[in-house]
Each structure stands twice: as C-alpha cells, then as structure tokens.
A and B are shown apart, each in its own frame.
Chain A
Amino acid sequence: MKKLILIAAALVISATLWAQEPVMEKNLAKLPAVTIQTLDGQSFNTQDIQNDGKPIIVSLWATWCRPCIAELIAIADEYEDWVEETGVKLYAVSIDDAKTSARVAPFVNGKGWEYTVLLDVNSDFKRAMNVNDVPFMCILNGKGEIVWQHTSYAPGSEDEVYEIIKQLSKEQ
C-alpha cells in the first residue's frame, strides 16, 4: 500500500510539473558553456554557437536514433529554403560515444546534410542541457536565448520549427 501511495504521489507531482510549464518561457536562458568537439577534432565551446544575430536551431541526435535521423532528414529537404529566407543555422550535436563517433562524419556526408555537426562524446552537453532522451531540439533567437525546446519527433513538427524561426527572423 505504501508503495502505491508513493507512486501515486510521484504521479501527482509529475502532473504538477507538467501543468506548471509556462506557456512562454520568461527566463530566457542561454546555452551552457561546455567543451565539446568539432568533426575535425577541435575543441568547441557550446557558448560559441552563434549566427550573427540570426536564429539558431540546436538538435541533439545520434546515428543510432531513428526518429532523430527522420527529423534531420525532414529538415534537410527544406533547409536550403529556410536558410535563404531566415538565415537560420542548424547545429546538429551528436551524442554518439566512442563506438560510433568516428562514423558521424561519413554518416552526415553520406546523407548530404549541410548542418554544422558537433560531437558530444561524453554526453557533457546533454547533461548540462538536462536532456533525457534524443531527439531533443531547441531554438535560439538572435541574442542566443533559448526560446523553444522540444523532445521527440513527429512527422510534420518541422513545420512548427519553421514558423518559429520565421517569426524570429522577422523580429530582427
């Protein structure tokens, strides 16, 4: 019985957590400063994720994550138009570890993706971002503030991403 009560408590609390999520995040946080790597082995500080005042998409993904890949493929089909229209830049941060991180570059090239790809082999960035599971995506405005975050992928959710970056580029 105790267990049941506890679990019920956990449930209620979770529901509370969910209900209290603010509609528009007022505390516009910026990305944490974590040292990860570029595809050619250079250190890269995640605070250097910038785009000259234009919107930025940061996607956490992995080569073994099917929905992640589906999402990045879906965006790749539209990416040229998005860049032209809004100047957006997408940073695809792979959380592949030592087993598969060497295969990230060939994978990305094999898909013909134009994204800026970074490697988070020790999941440091993932932890600093409080990410549970991939795919995880966030959008930054021109000031580098996180305006939108999302977990998991459903086909078509790239349209929402597009609406947001369009809005952001208009606000410039």
Chain B
Amino acid sequence: MKRLLQSVLLLILIVAVRPVQAQHQLGNSRISGDFGFNGMYYIPDSLIGADEVDSKVRANAFLNLLYSNGGFSAGVRYEYYQFPLIDFEKINYQGQGVRYFFADYKNDFIQVTGGNFYEQFGNGLALRAYEDRQLGIDNSLLGARVKLTPYKGIYITGVWGIERLNFESYIGRKDYVRGIDGELNFGEMFPKLTEKGFQLNVGGSFVSKFERSTDDYSVFLHPGTDSAAIANIPAKKIPQNTPVWATRLSFGYKGFRLDGEFAQKMQDPNISNDFIYRKGNALFLSATYSMKGLGVAASFIRADNMDFRSQRMMNLNSNLSINNIPAINRQYSYQLISNYSYASQPNSQIGVQLQVNYQIPKKSKIGGKYGTDLTFNFSRFHNIENAWTPEALNNGIMTGTEGYTSGFFKFGPDLLYQDIGFEFHRRLTKKWELTLAYNYLIYNLEILQGHMGTMHGHLVAADLLWKVAPKHALRLELQHLYSKDDEGSSVYGLLEYSISPHWFFSVGDNWNYGNPDKGHRLHYYNIAAAYVWRTTRIALNFGKTKEGILCIGGVCRAVPASYGMGLSITTSF
C-alpha cells in the first residue's frame, strides 16, 4: 500500500513539474524531460497461445527529468513497472522506483559524472553500459566516471560502478566493475593530417570486474551435472577479478576507412562457458569505402568465450552484461522475418557481412528523375571450431579445465545464420514510390532459439507509397515468406493511411497459411491509429501478436503470444 501511495505521489509530481518547465527558462537553467507509457488490456486466446494473465490491465511507464545549467546537469528517471507488460514480467523487469539518477559537470578539460551512467569503450568489446527500453535492458553503472581531455586529441575515461539489474540492487554484494580507456586522435592533434584527408585514431582500454566468490572452487558451482562427472572436476579457485583489455585502431583516407578492435578476456569461469579457465578473445574488423552514389562496407567478427557479466551465475538475456559483442548482420524491419533475426553469440561466432549501396544517378536514363537506390547484402555466421583439450576429454567434462582449443580463422561446423538480400527503391513519379526486396535466409533454430532444425526461407516484400493529395498518403506493404521449415509460409499485408503531420491509421494481417500444423494456420490481425502532435505521440492498437522473438541489434528476447488492446503514449518536453 505504501508503494502504491508513493507511485501515485510521484505521478502527481509529474504533472506538477510540467507547467513549471513549460513556462520559463530561468537564466541559463532549464528543465526538460520525456515520458513514456505503454499499456495493454489482455484478452486470453487459447488458439494463438495467449494465456489468461493474472492482471488483465498492464503497463510500463517511465519519466525522465533533466536539469541543466551551463556545464552542470542532473537527471532522474522514475520507472513504473509494477504490473508490467507480460513480456517484461517474463524477463523479471518488474518493480517501480528511481533506479537512474545522476549529476554531471563538464568543461573543456574535465567531465565528472556521479550516479548512473551509460558508457562505451571503443566498439564495446570490453565495456558497454547501455539501455534498450524496448528490450528491457538497462546495464547502466552506478558509480562515478571521469573524462579528461588533457590535450587536443587526447581522451582519457575512467569508470567505477555497480551494474544495474532490473529493479534489484547489487549494492549489497560489493561486486563492481572498473575500467579505463584512452584514445589518441591524431587528426585533431595534427590538423595537417586532416587537411590531407587522413584520419588516424588509436585507443586502448582495460576493464575489470570484481565479484566476490563464496564458493571457492569451480567444483561447487557447476549446476546440473551428475555426481560421477563432478568427481572429475578439478578443484580450481574461482578468480574474483576478471580483466579484459582491448586495443583498437581506426584509419581513414578520403573515402576509405578501416576499423579494428581486438579484445582479450582473462580467466572467467562462468555458467555460460561451463566454468572453463580458457581465456576469451574477440576481433572486430570493418572496412568501408564510399564516394557519392556508392558505398561498400565489409566487416568481420570472431568471438570466442567473450560472454562477460558482472555475475558469473547469470546467463539470462543481456542482464548484467559488461561488454557487447555486436551482431554485425544487416537488421531488417520486415515483419515476417523478425522472428528469424540473428542473435549475437558472444561465446562462439565467426562471420562476415558485406553491404553495397548504389544509386543510379538522378536524371539519368536508367536512374529516372529521382534516382534509383540499389542495395545488396550478404552475411554468414558460423560457430567457431572447438576441440576439447585432452584434460577435458579425459575428465569427460570441460568444467575446471582449459576447456577447448580453437583455430583462429577456422569456421566451425555449424552454420548459424546466412542472409543474401537485394533491395530496390525508386520514386516513380512525384506521387508514387516503390520499394522491392528479396531475401534468402538460413537460420539455425537449434542454436539461436533452442528448438530443433534449420529454417530456409525466401522473403519477397513490396512497399508502395501513393501520395494521394498534399499531406495525404497511402502506403501498402506486402510480404510473402516461403519456407518448408519451422512454421512454414506466411503472408503479410499492411495498409496505412496518413494525414501528415498528425494522423496515422493502419490495418494489417499476418497469415501463417503454410503452418505444417493445420490447426495453427492462423490470422494475426492488427488495427492501429496514432496521433502525433510535435513531440507527443498517442497510439491505440487492437489485435494479435504472434509468439516469437524481438531482436534489436542482435540482442533478443522472447515475446509471448498476446491478444488485446494497447495504448502507448510518448512525449518529450
């Protein structure tokens, strides 16, 4: 009851605050913020697997307030997830209160932050404290951060903090993460380099987690093994400090650019690697070339035993991840393949990604008046090669040993994901615009989603826009996924009518007509309307959501089937 009262009071505060800020900016000080509400009324539907939930009305809500005055700023976020949407409840993102607050001061030489902060070193192979509200990830650190710029082009960052986990507090455990990062930007140091079209950045970081261990030996930790195997586990100490270092380089000359980062993790026996003592490493390379009308980007990634979390017993979602091994494949927003998005495998992946963007010039014979955009994409990821060490073989279990060896550039036997895609976009006339896309996907269901098989699928998509009249537009989206695997073929159609800048109306249906289980050849329809006024958006929708996964940038979480009415409101001020 006390909590309830607190929540109500805090919400009232939200209202109180708003007129204050809307009026004035006192001197240089300013209050701004944003607010989001995402609610749903759930209707059970046994056919699609939408279970009866204990509270039919659920919502996620948050409010950010930011105060700034010159070099000083401070912020606080109140989150209300007491009765969250069911997918958030499933990942334990449940609770309410202030779990994010900070104060920050900066000038040209120094920036000091106290409280919660987000930070990334380089590409994030060693440290990435970030937030993705849609996925329910918040890996912010609670502690302190100092950034120094002692000389033009020299950047030093030091962090110390305790990682956030949903609404629980890890403060009591006295486990923490600390790190330091340095970067030299030669282009800023020597402007002549920049004038000649060169760019050169070199950086390095060192991050270490400290996690107290009460169970001193790996033998005590391994869950779920039979006693015979446990007897073979060597009694090795669990290291309480796990460091990761990384070094990176970025070089550019005119339209060409090369980026690389290599990271190594010291001994880190944890639940995701079966408590082995092997060191981990990751290499991320990317080369791009572009000139007007043409862009080529190629990247390579290899990650070996690089799952790095502030609690060794944690392996659910991205909870308590300290680093981030990026999923470098191209991300698509096509509805029918959203359930087959690649999820980054920090412990075992090697792969490449290639993308070419080309514009057939405007006002040319083939390009047409407005030009034509063509995109080609290829990506392929495997697991890494993995051979058990003699000791592990001898023991019959990897735990407590070096685990395995792996040839560095060898692709492992399991294909995880492959995508070959083409996209064509052209504005046909002043009123008509067309996008066509084709993708061939191979997706390893067993490793990426934990159920048997491999999905091979062909996706064809078309997006047609018709500007009916000034401010009025009608958009038709059609997709067809052809597959004999998993849930078979589906078609999807969406019709959206918009009256700019305020109104959006849409109706869509996803029909899984080719499901091998005839009883599951179902329609998942959706009707939605949204009203946008400046920075405020209010959206209502009614319909069914298919059970699946939601992936944003290679980080995924499960989405349960649902049916009902949703309301979402976001605003910033």
Chain A residues at the B interface, C-beta cutoff of 8 Å: 2-4, 6-7, 9-11, 13-14, 16-18, 20-22, 26-29, 32-33, 40-43, 64-66, 70, 73, 77, 97-100, 102-103, 105-112, 121-124, 127-133, 136, 148-152, 154-157, 159-160
Find out whether the CB atom of B359 lies under 8 angstroms from the CB atom of A16. no
Give complex CA distance A22, B425 in Å.
Answer: 39
In the A-B complex, the 5 residue pairs with the smallest Cβ-Cβ separation, listed nearest first, are A110-B357, A106-B295, A110-B295, A109-B290, A155-B473
Residues of B in contact, count (CB < 8 Å): 118
Chain A residues, Cβ within 8 Å of B569: 14, 18
Chain B residues, Cβ within 8 Å of A155: 465, 467, 473, 475, 498, 500
Find out whether the CB atom of A43 lies under 8 angstroms from the CB atom of B188. yes
Give complex CA distance A102, B82 in Å.
Answer: 39
Closest CB-CB distance, B367 to chain A, in whole Å? 10
Give complex CA distance A107, B373 in Å.
Answer: 10
Find out whether the CB atom of A154 lies under 8 angstroms from the CB atom of B36. no
**Could you pull out 20 A-B pairs where Cβ atoms are within 8 angstroms?**
A3-B58, A13-B11, A17-B18, A17-B573, A27-B30, A41-B185, A77-B370, A99-B327, A100-B553, A103-B355, A105-B288, A107-B295, A108-B290, A110-B294, A112-B361, A128-B66, A131-B34, A132-B34, A151-B536, A155-B475
Tell me if B324 counts as interface (CB < 8 A to partner A): yes
Nearest residue, chain B, Cβ from A99? B326
Find out whether the CB atom of A13 lies under 8 angstroms from the CB atom of B295. no
Find out whether the CB atom of B257 lies under 8 angstroms from the CB atom of A105. yes
Chain B residues, Cβ within 8 Å of A40: 187, 194, 199, 252, 257
Find out whether the CB atom of B371 lies under 8 angstroms from the CB atom of A112. yes
Give complex CA distance A2, B58 in Å.
Answer: 12
Residue interface bits B287-299, CB-to-A below 8 A is 1, else 0: 0111111111101
Kindly identify, within residues 541 to 573 of chain B, every residue whose CB is under 8 Å from any CB belonging to chain A. Answer: 553-554, 567, 569-573
Q: Known: A10-B37, A77-B370, A98-B324. Contact between A109 and B120, CB under 8 A?
A: no
Give complex CA distance A3, B296 in Å.
Answer: 52
Residue interface bits B256-292, CB-to-A below 8 A is 1, else 0: 0101000000000000000000000000001011111
Find out whether the CB atom of B533 lies under 8 angstroms from the CB atom of A6. no
Find out whether the CB atom of A133 lies under 8 angstroms from the CB atom of B570. yes
Find out whether the CB atom of B11 lies under 8 angstroms from the CB atom of A10. yes
Tell me if B519 counts as interface (CB < 8 A to partner A): no
Give complex CA distance A26, B21 in Å.
Answer: 10
Tell me if B451 counts as interface (CB < 8 A to partner A): no
Tell me if B14 counts as interface (CB < 8 A to partner A): yes
Chain A residues, Cβ within 8 Å of B500: 154-157, 159-160
Give complex CA distance A101, B147 in Å.
Answer: 22
Nearest residue, chain B, Cβ from A28? B25
Find out whether the CB atom of B572 lies under 8 angstroms from the CB atom of A132. yes
Tell me if B458 counts as interface (CB < 8 A to partner A): no
In the complex, the number of residue pairs spanning A and B with C-beta atoms less than 8 Å apart equals 264
Give complex CA distance A133, B259 in Å.
Answer: 28
Find out whether the CB atom of B255 lies under 8 angstroms from the CB atom of A11. no
Kindly identify, within residues 78 to 116 of chain B, every residue whose CB is under 8 Å from any CB belonging to chain A. Answer: 80, 82-83, 106
Closest CB-CB distance, B285 to chain A, in whole Å? 10
Chain A residues, Cβ within 8 Å of B130: 97, 122-123
Chain A residues, Cβ within 8 Å of B290: 105-106, 108-110
Q: Known: A103-B297, A154-B498. Contact between A112 and B292, CB under 8 A?
A: yes
Give complex CA distance A148, B294 in Å.
Answer: 33
Chain A residues, Cβ within 8 Å of B188: 42-43
Find out whether the CB atom of A42 lies under 8 angstroms from the CB atom of B187. yes
Find out whether the CB atom of A27 lies under 8 angstroms from the CB atom of B187. no
Find out whether the CB atom of A17 lies under 8 angstroms from the CB atom of B15. yes
Give complex CA distance A26, B188 in Å.
Answer: 38
Closest CB-CB distance, A25 to chain B, in whole Å? 8
Residue interface bits B239-255, CB-to-A below 8 A is 1, else 0: 00000000000101001
Chain B residues, Cβ within 8 Å of A66: 333
Q: Known: A14-B37, A154-B500. Contact between A130 and B18, CB under 8 A?
A: no
Nearest residue, chain B, Cβ from A150? B534
Tell me if B532 counts as interface (CB < 8 A to partner A): yes
Known: A20-B22, A100-B331, A110-B356. 20 other contacts (CB 8 A): A13-B12, A17-B573, A20-B18, A21-B573, A40-B187, A41-B252, A42-B187, A42-B199, A43-B185, A98-B122, A103-B295, A110-B294, A110-B295, A130-B66, A136-B535, A150-B532, A150-B534, A151-B532, A155-B467, A156-B500
Find out whether the CB atom of A150 lies under 8 angstroms from the CB atom of B501. yes
Find out whether the CB atom of A112 lies under 8 angstroms from the CB atom of B293. yes
